[in-house]
């Protein structure tokens, strides 16, 4: 469990993992979570549901598990479209640096629903500050950052033909920059 106490940038511990993320879409909108860095009061950004891949778990299985944990929506992993995209990302927070290789899936749902936080981890209960359905056309106009910044483009991958996975390369999404 993280301490969420800010440390000097050069002393932040680093960790790496593989992660799965899910782009949930319904009625022309994307379901995003509001994330924060408790060591940097006032920080806020929008993020897709998702998280680390557990040992022995596939990216698809992790994506379905994360949807259940973070949104309270139990799905069959076969309902996920993709993988549609991958990237390597570094997240610099006030208390740590997290490097992850992310695999993205799309989950079309039949209507907007209200997520539940009943399955949130202790860390998520501290950092996640809400959620919202954001119209795809309005993603670029949000007052808080939307991560990944190419999310509107990735939503178009919902019609994925299975031919290829888009590689978005290296990205940085940080409240306290790393690189």
Tell me: the pLDDT tens digits for 37-65? 999 999 999 999 999 999 999 999 999 99
> According to the model, what pLDDT value does residue 154 have?
78
Q: What is the pTM of this model?
A: 0.93
Band of the pLDDT at 159, cuts 50, 70, 90? Answer: low
Average pLDDT over residues 91-104: 95
For 110, residues 6+ apart whose C-beta sits below 8 A from its C-beta are 26
Distance CA 152, CA 156 (A): 7
Domains annotated for the chain, with CATH where assigned, are 9-165 (3.90.79.10)
- Going by C-alpha positions, the residue among 28, 43, 30, 20 that lies closest to residue 173 is 43
Instruction: Say yes or no to pLDDT of 20 above 70.
Output: yes
Band of the pLDDT at 92, cuts 50, 70, 90? Answer: very high
Distance CA 81, CA 105 (A): 6
Q: What is the pLDDT of residues 111-145, one digit of tens each?
A: 999 999 889 888 888 888 999 999 999 999 999 99
């Amino acid at each position: 469990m993280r301490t969420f106490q800010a440390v000097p940038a050069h002393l932040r511990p680093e960790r790496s993992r593989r992660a799965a993320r899910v782009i949930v879409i319904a009625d022309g909108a994307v379901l995003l979570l509001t994330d924060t860095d408790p060591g940097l009061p006032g920080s806020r950004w929008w993020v897709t549901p998702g998280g680390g891949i557990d040992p022995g778990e596939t990216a698809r299985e992790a994506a379905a598990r994360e949807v259940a944990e973070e949104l309270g929506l139990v799905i069959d992993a076969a309902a996920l479209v993709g993988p549609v995209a991958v990237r390597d990302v570094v997240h610099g927070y006030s208390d740590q640096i997290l490097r992850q290789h992310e695999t993205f899936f799309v989950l079309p749902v039949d209507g907007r629903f209200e997520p539940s936080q009943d399955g949130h981890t202790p860390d998520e209960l501290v950092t996640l500050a809400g959620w919202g359905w954001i119209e795809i056309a309005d993603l670029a106009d949000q007052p808080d950052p939307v991560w990944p910044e190419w999310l509107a483009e990735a939503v178009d991958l919902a019609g994925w033909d299975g031919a290829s996975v888009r590689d978005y390369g290296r990205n940085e999404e940080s409240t306290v920059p790393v690189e």
